[in-house]
Structure 1
Amino acid sequence: MQTDDVCEFLDWCRTQKIEFDGLELIYVQGAGYGLIAKRNFQSEEPVIKLPQKCLITAGQVVEIPKYKELVGNLSTLPSPFEMLVLFFALEEPQTSTYGPYLKMLPKHFSTPIYEGIEFPESDLPDSILSFWRQQQQELKVVSEKVESLKPKYSISKERLLWAWHVVNTRCIFVENRPNKLIDQTHGDTIAIIPFVDMLNHSTNAQGLALLDKRSSTYMVKAQKFILQDSEVFVCYGPHTNARLYIEYGFKLLDNPYAKVIINHDLFFELAEECGISLSEKRRDIIRRADLPCHLYATDEGPSWPLRNNARLLLIQEDKLDNWNDLIYNSPVDEQQEDEADKTLSQMLSRLRIRYEKKIEEISEQAKWMWKEELAVVDLTLKALQI
């Protein structure tokens, strides 16, 4: 049974010319709202269509008189992200033309930032550390801009945190036209899209969102057959569970995008622990080759770049000058490959010991991130032993 807010929102969507025939908006326990197919959709068939003018963008918002005045009170131009945060922080459902949509937005979020969970940086794996720092910095910068608007515009910390999360969890990549009142240093490529943002995330998504510039229409197309009574999903990106948790506040049971980041310095440390002596020349060549050493849950064993890094560890010093030819042109010698795999197995066994020690040392709230990465290490080790 649909609530009054849902009925009002759907009526509002129809007045905005948003087309969603064949879809039903439902509340999904633990995930918020979601969209269910009430009929079959064929591959390439539009599932949702809406005019481009329905997109909430920074350039559109800043042309509203009260927000144009607000920008005039800032010492620097707002970024597209900041402008959208200010919009959601100041709009009220009772007076906004977006009122029915605003009423549908979550009242709270389950991200660590929203719930006040602090992660010491030493507790986080490299795969998520830089993103965690980025999130903290973005919130800090927009908070400082809001402070500079007082006393004319008063936004509480709680309201700002909520608005920041609305934009952070619901914005979608769209290339927008430049606006002179918006800082274009990093371009303007985000929008909030009512109704489309009710689609939940899956790594096995059936829907693909895109903007058709010729018809000025934003749409979600079926990229595979969608069965009646199934939930329609899009993919928010190839994110690890740590990234999903920090950005959106949820995790997946079987996430194929789990990975382990092994930077070159760690790669060298593990090699030395295995008794491999590394000259500065060898280190420099491995860095110049710029092949990632990372592990991925979807790989059946070590990746091609990682194996080649192991080959560069083992080749004779006098052959290092021909490293490019060795990697890209020379056939792989079976004995060399076996030696590389043996070396990688030794290195990853030592990495495994590091992970086990780290899991013992860090806070309970961060252990699961390391355990998920340890599982990826184990998968690679198992493949090397076959």
Structure 2
Amino acid sequence: MGINCSHKLKYIKLKKWLKSRGFEDSDLRPAQFWDTGRGLMTTKALQAGDLVISLPEKCILTTGTVLSSGLGEYIMRWKPPVSPLIALCTFLIAEKHAGEKSLWKPYLDVLPKTYTCPVCLEHDVVSLFPEPLRKKAQEQRTTVHELYMSSKAFFSSLQPLFAENTETIFNYSALQWAWCTINTRTVYMKHSQRECFSLEPDVYALAPYLDLLNHSPNVQVKAAFNEQTRSYEIWTNSQCKKYKEVFICYGPHDNQRLLLEYGFVAMNNPHSSVYVSSDTLLKYLPPLDKQRNAKISILKDHDFLGNLTFGWDGPSWRLLTALKLLSLEADEL
């Protein structure tokens, strides 16, 4: 059981703000849990097939929200077009900077101030990761840094909107925070392609209050935007007892993926797997194998030197295939 936090001012303000946008109070309450941290508890027992939460379109933050804000005309003018992701990052940073003037302040006030995704961790912490995870973490850092560098000119174009220098507002740590907010908290919601955006898929939606629901690999839910009710809805396929934490499932992810994408790992995760690096694999090859280079070349050409894992059921098909090929005699190759 968790400690009910709905009396806290930031949650009172959030609920009031959501109500003004058409959200009807649900049976969910923000609470603090010893094992998962902040989450939502239910004040009534939930049965399979029950509606967990229904969040009206007006409460959801999408690229449509961004385009109807003061940033809209600058995004529409900018060439080459910015990505939907950068548009949302820019909006979050600008609204956070606006403080009391932001229409989204009650939501921004409950967002995490910091994140535990690898991109936010110190280098000496990342260096302790197993090699396959360390490599992925470094790729993530590079992605976010390149995103920042490629967006600097666009950020500068927004100067007329701000009294303060845009370089101070849209700095690297601000983008890192906004990127993590979107990466860890958005729900999937497909939007039609707009000419003012680049061709990357526009599938992000920030869903206040609903995004307080934590992940469990052991539950099943149905989540989607309902075109009839114009709301984002979550229906549970699992039972949940009164005053217990309500979970949703972010997907059948192993702990490496959960740490990379969301900054946490799941206890007793049925999708857990151990990644085997290509270095480890090749270390145990007979050094005198004359076909060694040919075998490695075949594996590389068919992309079989990455994503090699052991799960609860033993080695994955990819790992077995790689091992079989490496074990072939010269006349079998």
Work out which of the residue numbers 192, 214, 232 in structure 2 matches 1:200: 214
Q: Which runs of 5+ in 1 are unaligned?
A: 321-386
CA offset at residue 312 of structure 1?
A: 4.0
One-letter amino acid of the counterpart of residue 8, structure 2: T
2-side partners of 1:317 and 1:214: how far apart?
63
CA offset at residue 73 of structure 1?
A: 6.4
Give the structure with the larger strand fraction. 2
Work out which of the residue numbers 148, 151, 160 in structure 2 matches 1:145: 151
Instruction: State the SS of the aligned residue for 1:172.
Output: strand
Question: Over aligned residue pairs, what C-alpha RMSD do you find?
Answer: 3.4
2-side partners of 1:279 and 1:246: how far apart?
33
Q: Does 1:94 align with 2:107?
A: no
Task: State the TM-score, normalized to the length of structure 2.
Answer: 0.78
Work out which of the residue numbers 106, 114, 120 in structure 2 matches 1:114: 120
Work out whether residues 293 and 309 of structure 1, in 8 Å CA contact, stay in contact via their aligned partners in 2: no
2-side partners of 1:51 and 1:123: how far apart?
41
Aligned residues: 316
Written as runs of structure 1 = structure 2, the 5 A alignment for 1:360-379 is none
Matched with 2:189 is 174
Work out which of the residue numbers 25, 32, 43 in structure 1 matches 2:30: 25
2-side partners of 1:250 and 1:281: how far apart?
40
One-letter amino acid of the counterpart of residue 183, structure 1: S
| Percent of aligned positions that are identical | 26
Instruction: State the SS of the aligned residue for 1:35.
Output: strand
CA offset at residue 48 of structure 1?
A: 0.6
Work out whether residues 55 and 207 of structure 2, in 8 Å CA contact, stay in contact via their aligned partners in 1: no
CA offset at residue 199 of structure 1?
A: 0.7
One-letter amino acid of the counterpart of residue 49, structure 1: S
Matched with 1:10 is 15
Q: Does 1:125 align with 2:138?
A: no
2-side partners of 1:58 and 1:319: how far apart?
55
Matched with 1:190 is 204
CA 126–59 in structure 1, closer or farther in 2 if over 3 Å, else same: same
CA offset at residue 201 of structure 1?
A: 1.9
2-side partners of 1:198 and 1:165: how far apart?
15
Structure with bigger gyration radius: 1
CA 211–296 in structure 1, closer or farther in 2 if over 3 Å, else same: farther
Work out whether residues 62 and 68 of structure 1, in 8 Å CA contact, stay in contact via their aligned partners in 2: yes
CA offset at residue 99 of structure 1?
A: 2.5
CA offset at residue 41 of structure 1?
A: 1.4
Q: Does 1:296 align with 2:310?
A: yes
Q: Which has the higher contact order (CA 8 A, sep 6+)?
A: 2
Task: State the TM-score, normalized to the length of structure 1.
Answer: 0.69
CA 260–32 in structure 1, closer or farther in 2 if over 3 Å, else same: closer
CA 296–103 in structure 1, closer or farther in 2 if over 3 Å, else same: same
CA offset at residue 283 of structure 1?
A: 5.4
Work out whether residues 308 and 319 of structure 2, in 8 Å CA contact, stay in contact via their aligned partners in 1: yes
2-side partners of 1:143 and 1:89: how far apart?
16
Work out whether residues 264 and 287 of structure 1, in 8 Å CA contact, stay in contact via their aligned partners in 2: no
Greater shift in the superposed pair: 283-292 or 166-175? 283-292
Give the structure with the larger helix fraction. 1
Q: Which runs of 5+ in 2 are unaligned?
A: none
For residues 325-354 of structure 1, give each alpha carbon's deviation from its aligned partner in whole angstroms, at most 9, with x where no partner exists.
xxxxxxxxxxxxxxxxxxxxxxxxxxxxxx
Work out whether residues 118 and 140 of structure 2, in 8 Å CA contact, stay in contact via their aligned partners in 1: no
